[in-house]
């Protein structure tokens, strides 16, 4: 075994300095990409970290193996092996299969193709990263492969109509990371293991052996070239075609990126091509500034009070007079006790039908002439409380017309709508869309709302005809309505207190309130991400401005 080369304390070879600076720049760029990410999800974070740990472990084990090999063996074992390719592919498949990117019910070939592209691109990215971890030097091919692969995945997503957005910070950080992984593109000199050894004053024997090895290898290569009748300096057949191929690939890659960036930063919003004119009731004069409507069953009254108290402390809500209106569907509830324990303005008892959607419809219909300027529609047990209050703090304003307080960025095809939770609808969604938007449902993407918690203005609520809400409310209450029949259910579970149509209504509030816009699907951060570092509050909502 030959002892590895060392340097005196405080001295660094150019390779060491360059590798450290490259690693530092790459880590900084990765941090910027992560900090600027607006699509973070719990499962994505968990499995993303696990995949990175697996990748780092693979690189560590590879380096540990090389430590026990002599130089002659090492130089022959630096290439990618089959396990190095297959293992990352398996990691990618497992991560995507277990994360929230996987679909329990994939409805069309577009989603299947996108899933395959993501899995393959992630696997290849792992291979490229593993190559960087297990090699002394990066190559221009590594950076170009990463650059081309991400551009191709973005192109496929754009062509298939997937809504996504890359912030300027993420784009700059990715560019820096790509350059840092392409050392030969910007490094003035390439250093290998022999160059490191040559600058060490403690390894003359290693240097001598290395020089002999290089001289011997050079002589053999020269002899081989002369034996084949090829002289140094003469271009071999096919080299011109190789350069032409590289140029074509580079042009295609740049064109792919230009198209993707154009679609990313200059995409036409869905409402810009819609024939619908926004309807707002500007003549209505509300009697209350703000209402908080809570749909309750048997949840803790003290929890409701805590939720309302926390909302009262937020800057945009604190100075405003609000009414707390609670609707309970517990037949055994004591109205007087609930009034005392929650501090509500009023408590109304309703039959236990229709989930929270029926409660909201009841409030809109029965208080049509007494709607507040803005209303928070909430369930007694709010979803994602850790992210709920920051979302209200960061996005709610006096101009808010519709602000969803649940999952963001999820869309579906208007004529065949569905999501990864197993919900789908191809009859009522087109009908509601046509009635609200006053246009035929074609192949446009509609924005879905989740969790049954949102803010709506009276101007926007009253922009629709009262009959729309009455029809939806009747569908919830009448067991003979078509939404409770087999033609609509098609084998899905349904009951009056938990109708399947309730899940449909939960997803349609953005459509009903005329706030189904592509820009929100593209730019609104997830609840976990919080806020986008570069972007206005309107990214996640619709304002009541003309």
What does the pLDDT average to over 474-499? Answer: 93
CATH of the domain at 516: 3.90.550
Pair (370, 514) in one structural domain: yes
Q: 211 in a domain, yes or no?
A: no
Compute the distance between CA of residue 287 and CA of residue 172 in angstroms, rounded to an integer.
50
Pair (335, 417) in one structural domain: yes
pLDDT at position 180: 67
Look at the alpha carbons of 336, 337, 341, 347 in this order and tell me if their dihedral is positive or negative: negative
Measure CA of the first residue to CA of the last residue in the chain; give whole Å.
78
State the total domains in the chain. Answer: 2
The pTM assigned to this predicted structure is: 0.71
Compute the distance between CA of residue 522 and CA of residue 409 in angstroms, rounded to an integer.
6
Long-range Cβ contact pairs of 130-136 (< 8 A, separation 24 or more): 130/55, 130/58, 130/59, 130/62, 130/84, 130/88, 131/80, 132/181, 133/55, 133/56, 133/58, 133/59, 133/62, 133/63, 134/59, 134/62, 134/63, 134/66, 134/78, 134/84, 135/78, 136/15, 136/192, 136/193
H-helix or E-strand spanning residue 349:
strand 346-349
Residues 6+ apart with CB under 8 A from 85: 127
To the nearest whole number, what is the mean pLDDT of the chain?
Answer: 74
Pair (347, 479) in one structural domain: yes
Pair (260, 297) in one structural domain: no
pLDDT digits (tens, 9 = 90+) for 403-437: 999 988 888 888 889 988 889 998 899 999 998 98
Domain containing residue 416: 290-543
pLDDT digits (tens, 9 = 90+) for 179-212: 766 655 444 444 444 344 444 444 444 444 444 4
Instruction: Put the strands of the sheet holding 290-296 in their side by side order.
Output: 346-349, 322-328, 290-296, 374-379, 454-457, 400-404, 541-543
Pair (261, 295) in one structural domain: no
DSSP 263: H
Residue 33 pLDDT exceeds 80: no
What does the pLDDT average to over 269-294? Answer: 79
């Amino acid at each position: 075994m030959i002892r590895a080369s060392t340097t005196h304390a405080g001295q660094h070879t150019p390779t060491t300095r360059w590798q450290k600076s490259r690693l530092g720049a790459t880590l900084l760029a990765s941090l910027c990409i992560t900090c600027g990410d607006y699509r973070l999800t719990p499962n994505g974070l968990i499995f993303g970290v696990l995949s990175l740990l697996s990748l780092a472990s693979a690189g560590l084990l590879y380096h540990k193996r090389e430590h026990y090999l002599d130089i002659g063996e090492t130089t022959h074992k630096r290439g990618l092996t089959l396990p190095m390719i297959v293992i990352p592919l398996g990691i990618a498949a497992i991560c995507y299969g277990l994360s929230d990117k996987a679909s329990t019910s994939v409805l069309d070939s577009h989603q299947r193709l996108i899933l395959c592209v993501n899995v393959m691109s992630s696997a290849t990215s792992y291979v490229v990263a593993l190559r960087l971890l297990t090699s002394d030097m990066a190559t221009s091919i590594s950076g170009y492969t990463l650059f081309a692969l991400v551009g191709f995945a973005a192109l496929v997503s754009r062509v298939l109509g997937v809504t996504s957005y890359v912030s300027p910070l993420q784009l700059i950080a990715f560019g820096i990371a790509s350059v840092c992984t392409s050392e030969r593109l910007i490094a003035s000199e390439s250093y290998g293991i022999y160059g490191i050894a040559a600058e060490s004053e403690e390894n003359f024997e290693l240097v001598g052996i290395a020089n002999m090895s290089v001289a011997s290898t050079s002589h053999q290569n020269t002899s081989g070239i002369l034996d084949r009748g090829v002289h140094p300096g003469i271009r071999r057949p096919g080299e011109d075609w190789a350069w032409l191929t590289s140029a074509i690939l580079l042009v295609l890659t740049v064109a792919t990126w230009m198209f993707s960036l154009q679609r990313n930063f200059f995409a036409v919003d869905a409402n810009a091509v819609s024939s619908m004119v926004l309807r707002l009731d500007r003549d209505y004069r509300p009697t209350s500034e703000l209402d908080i409507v809570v749909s309750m069953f048997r949840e803790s009254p003290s929890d409701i009070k805590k939720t309302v108290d926390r909302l009262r402390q937020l800057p945009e809500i604190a100075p405003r007079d609000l009414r707390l209106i609670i609707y309970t569907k517990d037949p055994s509830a004591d109205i007087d006790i609930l009034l005392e324990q929650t501090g509500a303005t009023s408590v109304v008892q309703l039959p236990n039908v229709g989930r929270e959607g029926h409660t909201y419809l009841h409030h809109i219909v029965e208080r049509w002439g007494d709607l507040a300027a803005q209303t928070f529609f909430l369930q007694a047990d709010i979803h994602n409380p850790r992210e709920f209050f920051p979302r209200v703090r960061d996005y709610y304003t006096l101009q808010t017309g519709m602000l969803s307080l649940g999952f963001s960025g999820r869309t579906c095809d208007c004529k065949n709508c569905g999501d990864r939770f197993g919900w789908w609808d191809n009859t009522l969604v087109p009908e509601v869309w046509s009635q609200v938007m006053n246009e035929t449902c074609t192949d446009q993407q509609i924005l879905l709302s989740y969790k049954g918690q949102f803010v709506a203005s009276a101007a926007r609520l009253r922009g629709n005809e009262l009959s729309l809400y009455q029809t939806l409310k009747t569908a919830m209450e009448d067991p003979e309505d078509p939404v409770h029949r087999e033609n609509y259910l098609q084998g899905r579970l349904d009951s009056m207190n938990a109708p399947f149509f309730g899940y449909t209504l939960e997803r349609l509030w953005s459509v009903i309130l005329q706030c189904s816009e592509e820009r929100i699907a593209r730019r609104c951060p997830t609840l976990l991400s919080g806020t986008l570092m570069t972007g206005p509050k309107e990214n996640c909502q619709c304002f009541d401005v003309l």
